[in-house]
Amino acid sequence: MSTKLPALAQWVEEVAALTRPDNIQWCDGSQQEYEGLVDLMKASGDLKELNQETHPGCYLHLSDPSDVARVEHLTFVCTEKAEDAGPNNNWMDPSEARQKMDELFEGSMEGRTLYVVPYCMGPVDSPLARCGVEITDSPYVVANMRLMTRMGSAALARIEREGSFVKGLHCTGDLDPDRRFIMHFPESLTIMSFGSGYGGNALLGKKCHALRIASYQARQEGWLAEHMLIVGIEDPQGQVSYVAAAFPSQCGKTNLAMLIPPASQEGWKVWTVGDDICWMHVGEDGQLWAINPEAGFFGVAPGTGEDTNPNALAMLDRDAIFTNVGVTSSNEPWWEGKSDERPARNWRGADYDDGAGPAAHPNSRFTVSIKRCPSYSDQAEAPQGVPISAIVFGGRRERLVPLVMEAKDWQHGVLLGASMASETTAAATGAVGVVRRDPMAMKPFCGYNFADYFAHWLTVGEKASRAPKVFHVNWFRKDENGRFMWPGFGENMRVLRWIVGRCRGEVGAQDTAIGLLPSPEDLDVTGLDLAPETLEALLSLDQAGWQQELSEIGSYLESYGERLPAELAAQQRRVAEALQA
């Protein structure tokens, strides 16, 4: 296999001349090719077979311990002008960055195979989908790309038809953290990633293309590329409303995306369209239509259990790749929160020792095709996408932020998204548990200046005459004893029902300075072990605390200087004044 497209053939030749691989393999995406890669990795020790009787087609990959998460401090957006990348990104001059990367890539594939991986983000026949080609020397990356994207011949055919594609160049290198960079060149639709094999740094279709590069393209072309799950919520009469929800990494997007409503919510169902990324376009009817550009999950394993996410467990017993989990004595994958069984070995491949940290790395992952998900939506492949009724923002906030609130209008919704904050998690290297502003859960993923991004969100709202309603949720409030106040997981269905009810004009809310909040009687809490005072606290407004929050939001927004849209500053002032009243 090779290509009819001169621009692609030439790029592959140039990369090969620079990196000097022993072989070049064009990937067709076939099952046979996948099995060949698995055999190769079993032979090299990159993959270990798990128990094939209980977990057919499942393998374990253990990373270098220094390479287990995204590296935000080594991730750069290289636009010609630093202001275009904005204070939300690390910036490097594009020619300096290219030179640095060329030096690293020079001869870096000697003795290795260069894989050419054409892929399509989104259903191959969807006008909303976009294509890319990743060149990598890692068979682990190729195998994961096959599970995560529409990869191979069909994607290549579309690329040859369209003539354009995002170029992604990846090399594992020697995994030296001092020689690790994830560079984005949005103006030339190019990604260069060196020195890491970790998902978010190396599977370039995901964060690098579908968020950083796509968000930049989306602004130019008038659409949105977001860090959001997409679900269909079906009521007992069979009517489905679609919701897109943005939460920072490790705040439960995957769990919410495949939620199973508890018995008390009889007749309600949740259908999974996506768990991490959402591309939305304004349709001719004025609604936002969304596709999931991915074809698989790269989900966080720890905490995935029978009581938290039974759908995920059900899809993980075949054809999955596990990265950095532990194993049991019968060689089945294991992580904290999976079962009461004692693991035999930890994620470093050593015998498990209770005193020596968790068996699975806190950011250990599973990769599996979305088609394995029991709640996979029959609309997930729809070329036109699904119509979005509600956009939900949320973060991990121990205090202050109520369980749920609704924005007064789109502009206020943009403020809710732009002022989102969350406690940091293990998905990225660095301190865990520190509250940071993470607008629209896009802090690590927006490929341009956040001030321009907020302005773009406001513009999309102007274009969409039937824009979704916007909400904010917080599943993570704690009481003075440090206990979670809301049960979360499947019980979040009760909050989703209020959200859907609001979109359909069927349930009440009280107007407050910070937004529309349900009164306790607006939420169905029948059968929940929840004290009335706790519910009251979850739905109340702490005036002094919010005044302080609004002042912090004001300073945060001011840090974007003159590029900040006046409308957003006005929204902040409006809420701050309402809180003084």
Instruction: Kindly tell me which of 413 and 444 has the beta carbon lying closer to Mn ion.
Output: 444
- Choose from Mn ion, ligand OXD, none: what does 298 bind? Cβ within 5-8 Å by kind: ligand OXD
**Does 276 engage in binding with Mn ion (CB under 5 A)?**
yes
**Does 276 engage in binding with ligand OXD (CB under 6 A)?**
yes
Q: Check if the beta carbon of residue 425 is closer than 8 Å to that of residue 361.
A: no
- Choose from ligand OXD, Mn ion, none: what does 472 bind? Cβ within 5-8 Å by kind: none
The secondary structure element, H or E, covering residue 289 is strand 288-291
**Does 361 engage in binding with ligand OXD (CB under 6 A)?**
no
Give the closest residue to 258 by CA, choosing from 274, 243, 280.
274
Between CA 550 and CA 544 the distance in angstroms is: 10
- 51-56 long-range contacts (CB < 8 A, ≥24 apart) are 51/330, 51/331, 51/332, 54/317, 54/330, 54/332, 55/316, 55/317, 55/318, 55/320, 55/332, 55/333, 56/318, 56/319
Q: Check if the beta carbon of residue 131 is closer than 8 Å to that of residue 160.
A: no
Instruction: Kindly tell me which of 276 and 317 has the beta carbon lying closer to ligand OXD.
Output: 276
**Does 249 engage in binding with ligand OXD (CB under 6 A)?**
yes
**Residue 207 CB, nearest approach to Mn ion (Å):** 7
Say which residue the tokens 């994607």 belong to.
155
284-303 binders of ligand OXD (CB under 6 A): 298
Instruction: Kindly tell me which of 114 and 208 has the beta carbon lying closer to ligand OXD.
Output: 208
Dihedrals φ, ψ of 479, to 5°?
-90, -175
Instruction: Kindly tell me which of 148 and 240 has the beta carbon lying closer to ligand OXD.
Output: 148
**Residue 190 CB, nearest approach to ligand OXD (Å):** 22
- Choose from ligand OXD, Mn ion, none: what does 441 bind? Cβ within 5-8 Å by kind: none
- Choose from ligand OXD, Mn ion, none: what does 232 bind? Cβ within 5-8 Å by kind: none
Interaction pattern, residues 165-204, with ligand OXD; x per rule: CB under 6 A: ----------------------------------xx----
303-342 binders of ligand OXD (CB under 6 A): none
The secondary structure element, H or E, covering residue 270 is strand 269-274
- Would you say how long the chain is, in residues? 581
383-442 binders of ligand OXD (CB under 6 A): 427
Q: Check if the beta carbon of residue 447 is closer than 8 Å to that of residue 467.
A: no
Q: Which of 55, 61, 70, 184 binds ligand OXD (CB under 6 A)?
A: 70
**Residue 227 CB, nearest approach to Mn ion (Å):** 6
**Does 258 engage in binding with ligand OXD (CB under 6 A)?**
no
Instruction: Kindly tell me which of 250 and 571 has the beta carbon lying closer to ligand OXD.
Output: 250
**Residue 496 CB, nearest approach to ligand OXD (Å):** 21
The amino acid at residue 535 is L
**Residue 558 CB, nearest approach to ligand OXD (Å):** 28
- Choose from ligand OXD, Mn ion, none: what does 70 bind? Cβ within 5-8 Å by kind: ligand OXD
Q: Check if the beta carbon of residue 568 is closer than 8 Å to that of residue 557.
A: yes
Q: Where are the alpha helices (DSSP H) in 401-505?
A: 410-418, 450-463, 493-503
Give the closest residue to 24 by CA, choosing from 34, 11, 7, 5.
11
Between CA 286 and CA 466 the distance in angstroms is: 5
Active site residue 131: no
The secondary structure element, H or E, covering residue 544 is helix 543-558
Interaction pattern, residues 228-257, with Mn ion; x per rule: CB under 5 A: ---------------------x--------
Instruction: Kindly tell me which of 147 and 427 has the beta carbon lying closer to ligand OXD.
Output: 427
As beta bridge partners, residue 484 has: 478
Between CA 214 and CA 226 the distance in angstroms is: 9
Residue with CB nearest Mn ion? 276
Catalytic residue among 251, 278, 373, 446: 251
Which positions touch Mn ion (CB under 5 A)? 249, 276
Which positions touch ligand OXD (CB under 6 A)? 70, 199-200, 249, 276, 298, 427
Catalytic residues: 251
